[in-house]
Structure 1
Amino acid sequence: MKAAHIKQYGNIDTLIVGEVSKPSITASQVLIKVKAAGVNPVDFHIRNGMLKDSGTHELPLVLGWDASGVISEVGDLVTGVKPGDEVFVYAPLTEQGAQAEYIAVNADVVAIKPKSLSFIESAAVPLAALTALQALTAHGQLQKGQKVLIHNASGGVGNFAVQIAKHLGAHVIATGSEAKKDFIMGFGADEFIDYKQDDFEQHVKDVDLVFAAVGGNNIVERSLGVIKPNGRLISLLDEIDEQFAKDKNVNYARMLVEPSKAGLNKITDMLESNQLKVTIDSVYSLDDAKQAMIKSESARATGKIVIEVS
């Protein structure tokens, strides 16, 4: 089958679109004929070698872990889904990815695709929306009436986070570039800070939660000073010393998103009731997967980048 994959770790030149073996399934898995696959920053981090020395992956490695498609085969122990079902999934990062004609994945993390969304829109949802949901709820414990600061609110994760935080009844302060202010405010943010022109520390204080959906610029450590005592700081990328945060009376965690059928079902409910909207930045063919990754690495996408497979 055709897939976007790597045979060695390194820069964009290591990404190949070509033939790899079609996966076979175990008794607890389903085989999905992929219609579309999402593109996320974790893709190029893994390509660069983020997990190179961990023994996590075997090469060649298919990249991308968001998928929407149609179930082609089911394992003997699988219940609840059947061939022909339209589904979407965030597949475990530890396994082979989704930028391919087929993906094999455990059935217990696969959810029925939202009926109101196309395959392309559905592929834009799983990893980013699950990340936002888990960051704000499981890790951030955000409650109605609380105040949250969301860094990089125009990104794939950030714009879902703004919407989910508003759905939870929070007051949302969002950072982004001035060019994307209208986009961010359109999702319901209560306040906007242009990170290029203003230091957020000068405008924010006593928030219950900071969600750093971006790294660099010392943003995680700088955020410690704007959080109320015993508040929370959740980071997707950059790490700080946990004891350093404790000394500032802040509960800090660097999170990794977990595949979750239940989470996808919650997100589907929000999508179907128009409480959550999907923004597509751009769509590429599988043959143009390298261009899609270049766009992702540019950090200039507004919303999600998607690869249309079939």
Structure 2
Amino acid sequence: MNEETNIMIGFTESLTPGAFEARQGAIPVPDAGELVVRVEAVSVNPVDVMRRSQPPAGGFGILGYDAAGVVTAVGAGVDGFRAGDEVFYAGSLAMAGSNQRYQRVAARLVGHKPRSATFGEAASLPLTALTAWETAFDRFRLTRESTGDLLIVGATGGVGSILTQLVRALAPDVRVIATASAANADWARAMGAHDVVDHHGDLAAQVQSLAPQGVSWLFSAHSSGQVETYAQVVAPFGTIVAIDNGPRDVAPLMQKSIAWLWELMFTDPLFLPESHHQQWILDQVAGLVDSGVVRATTTTNLGTISADSLERAHAAIATGRTVGKIVLEGWAN
């Protein structure tokens, strides 16, 4: 396709197979405070599938909340970026996503891509790294001086894989207990987990055998039907951070004064228009990647960005059994 034309891959109907299609449009122009990025790679997250469950506004919705690419235009008032810079970011629910050749994005949400990472590797990081960082250091408030046990439920997913690495690197005296299936236990250990328990078994008994006094912190990617178990394994005055949505009764946590917190990395982009916190986090993560402390969690590369490859990525994510991250890199034309 013509290099001066934007390629946009969107969906036209909620959760309908084959509803992704490619369209051509004008290359966007940045508003003040924005960048335009030529997208070189994207990854697919559960939020993409969740957003696709609703009919798209205007009949054509462009998803994608992870990207790595090259800055092509810089809006007024933007410092720290220029055309040609390699960047990575997760963007915002309020703007069209990264499943397009050229994307407008708020500069305050963009970090400089790790120099040592490919575009595909970099695209696997932003959403999960932001979620993991905010969980560990903004919600749990872990520091290098923290001690205690952290249970990561869903440790082989995208967020759990990065969370394990960040905690091992920046809160080294915290013991990480990971949940994983037997088939994926080696992945959790490779990410740095001290201990791994089988989440298909008796979770409470396994965790209590490792932490009889209870864990101080619990991260949950899969909370449905688990609150009573969490009440058993979390220590009095402990903290739970959940990233999955849906109703649940947290009353069982009251007796031990356990705090239940939510983590949604899109809160900052949606409600804190002056915040550069996520840009700072991404730059910290890039430094950790370049120093070899944190590694990208790409496990599957489905090839170039297209309607077909996005369909296959969404189908895989919808199973709820993926390990690490799925990326798409490059364009066919």
Q: Give me the TM-score of the superposition, normalised by structure 1.
A: 0.91
The aligned residue for residue 148 of structure 2 is 146
The aligned residue for residue 274 of structure 2 is none
Q: Alignment length, in residue pairs? A: 303
Deviation, structure 1 residue 57: 5.8
Deviation, structure 1 residue 37: 0.8
Inter-CA distance 268–200: structure 2 relative to 1 (3 Å threshold): same
Residue 251 of structure 2 is aligned to residue 233 of structure 1: no
Task: Name the SS for the 1:19 alignment partner.
Answer: strand
Residue 287 of structure 2 is aligned to residue 283 of structure 1: no
Residue 49 of structure 2 is aligned to residue 44 of structure 1: yes
The aligned residue for residue 99 of structure 1 is 99
Give the AA of the match of 1:182. Answer: D
Q: Is the 8 A contact 1:212 1:236 kept in 2?
A: yes
Deviation, structure 1 residue 225: 1.9
Residue 315 of structure 2 is aligned to residue 308 of structure 1: no
Task: Name the SS for the 2:137 alignment partner.
Answer: helix
Residue 293 of structure 2 is aligned to residue 263 of structure 1: no
Give the AA of the match of 2:44. Answer: V
Rounded to whole Å, the distance in 2 between the matches of 1:5 and 1:27 is 26
Rounded to whole Å, the distance in 1 between the matches of 2:110 and 2:121 is 16
Rounded to whole Å, the distance in 2 between the matches of 1:293 and 1:222 is 30
Q: Structure 1 unaligned segments of length 5 or more: list them.
A: none
Give the AA of the match of 2:233. Answer: V
Deviations for 1:111-147, whole angstroms, at most 9, x for unmatched residues?
A: 1111010111000000011111111111122342221
Give the AA of the match of 1:107. Answer: A
Rounded to whole Å, the distance in 1 between the matches of 2:222 and 2:330 is 28
Give the AA of the match of 1:36. Answer: A
Deviation, structure 1 residue 154: 0.8
The aligned residue for residue 272 of structure 2 is none
Residue 274 of structure 2 is aligned to residue 274 of structure 1: no
Rounded to whole Å, the distance in 2 between the matches of 1:187 and 1:215 is 22
Q: Is the 8 A contact 1:142 1:209 kept in 2?
A: no
Percent of counterpart pairs with the same letter?
28
Deviation, structure 1 residue 35: 0.3
Q: Is the 8 A contact 2:316 2:322 kept in 1?
A: yes
Deviation, structure 1 residue 158: 0.9
The aligned residue for residue 254 of structure 1 is 262
Deviations for 1:139-178, whole angstroms, at most 9, x for unmatched residues?
A: 1223422210001111111111111121212101000110
The aligned residue for residue 199 of structure 1 is 202
**Partner of residue 29 from structure 2, selected from 14, 18, 24:** 24
